[in-house]
Amino acid sequence: MVDVAALVAGAREGAPRAVARLISLVEGASPQLREVMAALAPHCGNAYVVGLTGSPGVGKSTTTSALVTAYRAQGRRVGVLAVDPSSPFSGGALLGDRVRMGEHASDPGVYIRSMATRGHLGGLAWAAPQAIRVLDAAGCDVVLVETVGVGQSEVEIAAQADTSVVLLAPGMGDGIQAAKAGILEIGDAYVVNKADRDGAGATVRELNHMLGLGEARRPGDWRPPVVKAVAARGEGVEEMVAALDKHRGWMEEHGVLAERRAARAAKEIENIALTALRERMGELRGGKRLDALAARVVEGSLDPYAAADALVEGVTEG
């Protein structure tokens, strides 16, 4: 058994190996997961969590790296969680340009972790919040969660973050994609990266136009800013940080930060509870109860709702 208390103490003192070990424990759903989470709880709640999402090729890693540099210059400790989508089947992460983060690898004020989303459901939803908690408890002032915007991952990231940043690049047909994927509803800020390319102005205009088309905002509502950047040259990074600071300030002023964190915690608790209940269902009558009910549904002697009632009864009445 791992000495969890010692690991947490080590992480709190800034030992990168202790942080890495803790993330491995929570990511791997170790039997000590509960012990780890209980030990982390009192130290959580300080980190500002920023989600960064966008299609492949918009420069997410470069932008993340530039943000790390900017926050480090302010003396803040930064955690980076790079979530890589993977096949729901292979379980393998499509790593790649993580190397661009290399410049920060030797900085003791920066923790960088890549994470695969194992399976299409649950992967990100389960592992990421726990890993964020580790980085939070380890004293990170800011946690940047970077993910490729494919399928639902950007929506999930938005649900995990205090502030969600959507990255785009000129001339990638992102405008139409944005509308389709619903990213117009998840971004608290938009960054048009590679803004030295043709069409940057048009992309910014299109985005601003579409953001303005949304349902009528009430006075005081947040209007997501659109920032132009060339992250590879550090251009626009100051503006990005300013936009994030502004959003954080707005959220604090309007009670939105507390609201978002409470909603996130509620969702997380609910997910963990449902997983526990699903396990109990699977274990009913030595794992035979659900199979027996399914057989009756297949043969038509029971409908799935009546079967579900029987299953719920089994779980809730021991």
As separate numbers, helices (DSSP H) first and strands (DSSP E) second, the chain gives 12, 7
Q: Does 290 bind a copy of itself (CB under 8 A)?
A: yes
- For residue 105, the minimal CB distance to a copy of itself (Å) is 28
- Within 20-137, strands assigned E span 48-54, 78-84, 110-116
Compute the least distance from the CB of residue 280 to a copy of itself, in Å. 8
Q: Which of 2, 15, 232, 294 binds a copy of itself (CB under 8 A)?
A: 294
User: Two tokens at 37?
Assistant: 């989470």
Rounded CA gap, 318 and 234, in Å? 60
Interaction pattern, residues 66-105, with a copy of itself; x per rule: CB under 8 A: ---------------------xxxx---------------
Are the beta carbons of 92 and 86 closer than 8 angstroms? yes
Q: Does 152 bind a copy of itself (CB under 8 A)?
A: yes
Minimal distance, residue 295 CB to a copy of itself, in Å: 6
Supply the DSSP string of 234-252, one letter for each residue. Answer: TBTHHHHHHHHHHHHHHHH
Collapsed DSSP state (helix, strand, coil) of residue 115: strand
CB of 287 to a copy of itself, least distance (A): 11
Task: Report the residue from 44, 232, 242, 256 that binds a copy of itself according to the rule CB under 8 A.
Answer: 44
Residues listed for the chain: 318
Sole binder of a copy of itself in the list 13, 202, 273, 288 (CB under 8 A): 273
Is there binding between residue 34 and a copy of itself (CB under 8 A)? yes
- The amino acid sitting at 148 is V
Helix (H, G, I), strand (E, B) or coil at 124: helix
Kindly list the distances between the CA atom of residue 163 and the CA atoms of 119, 141, 306, in Å, as whole numbers in the listed order: 25, 14, 43
Q: Does 33 bind a copy of itself (CB under 8 A)?
A: yes
Binding region for a copy of itself (CB under 8 A): 33-34, 37-38, 40-45, 87-90, 120-121, 129, 150-152, 155, 180-182, 185, 258, 261-263, 265-266, 268-270, 272-274, 276-278, 281, 290-291, 293-295, 297-309, 311-312, 315-318
